[in-house]
Copies of this chain bind each other. A is one copy, B any other.
Amino acid sequence: MARTGRRPGATVTRERILEVAREEFADKGYTGASVRGIARAAGVDPALVHHFFGAKEQVFVAAMRLPYDPAEVLRGITASSSRHDRAEALLRFLLGAWEDPRTRGPLLALLRSAAAHDAFAVTVRGFLEDVLSRHIAERFEVPPLRATALLSQVFGLLAMRYVVEVEPLASATVDDIVAVYAPALRALIDADGAEPDDEGRRAGTGEPGGR
């Protein structure tokens, strides 16, 4: 922290960096933005950005006010559940985060402002590809196409339940939703007959798929 020339209050600097980061991610997308560029625009040393937040991935998580770091969440799920149980663990984590009033607000604000903001697709595309999808592929040992399929299914569920609020999905209990969705997600994560390691290596497109 002592590496920068100027040294205003740490909180003020943190907030200034996040504000600049939001602009940079909006202008250049996740892939185009860089810690170096954010530091330059904020008038601080890149080392200070690293010191406060970590890598670009964590800067994005902080700038978008995500209540959880997806990498940590996925690490926790794979550490604590078998391959078969990951679909249910992921669903229970996500639904829990959206049911909790403390985290639901920020998540809903994010999804709503995302929907209202035209350039949002570009902003998040790189994060979805380079971060979320990559972590899912690595942790769940599935090829990238299955990882993005999983992302799209989870996104559809959260959007329909919490944003559009379609009934009976909006008022169903978490247990009922897990009962209905877990087998569908498991069909993506745990394609029957395929060896996990095989699947993991056959990255990209074109895997012949289950049943």
A211 at the interface (CB under 8 A from B): yes
A168 at the interface (CB under 8 A from B): yes
> Is A172 within 8 A of B145, CB to CB?
yes
Q: A207-B180, A210-B183 are in contact. Are A159 and B167 (CB under 8 A)?
A: no
CA distance A177 to B152 in the complex (A): 12
CA distance A129 to B156 in the complex (A): 15
Interface centre among A118, A157, A205 (most CB of B within 10 A): A205
29 contacts between A and B (CB under 8 A): A115-B116, A116-B116, A121-B163, A128-B160, A129-B166, A129-B167, A145-B168, A145-B169, A145-B172, A148-B167, A149-B157, A149-B169, A151-B160, A151-B166, A152-B157, A153-B156, A155-B156, A155-B160, A156-B157, A168-B204, A168-B205, A176-B205, A176-B206, A181-B188, A183-B187, A183-B211, A184-B188, A186-B187, A187-B187
Given contacts A125-B164, A128-B160, 18 further A-B contacts (CB under 8 A): A121-B164, A121-B165, A125-B165, A128-B164, A145-B168, A145-B169, A145-B176, A145-B180, A146-B180, A152-B161, A153-B156, A153-B184, A155-B159, A168-B204, A180-B207, A183-B187, A183-B188, A186-B187
Seen from chain A, the residues whose Cβ lies within 8 Å of a Cβ on chain B are: 115-116, 118, 121, 124-125, 128-129, 133, 144-146, 148-149, 151-157, 159-161, 163-169, 172-173, 176-188, 191, 204-211
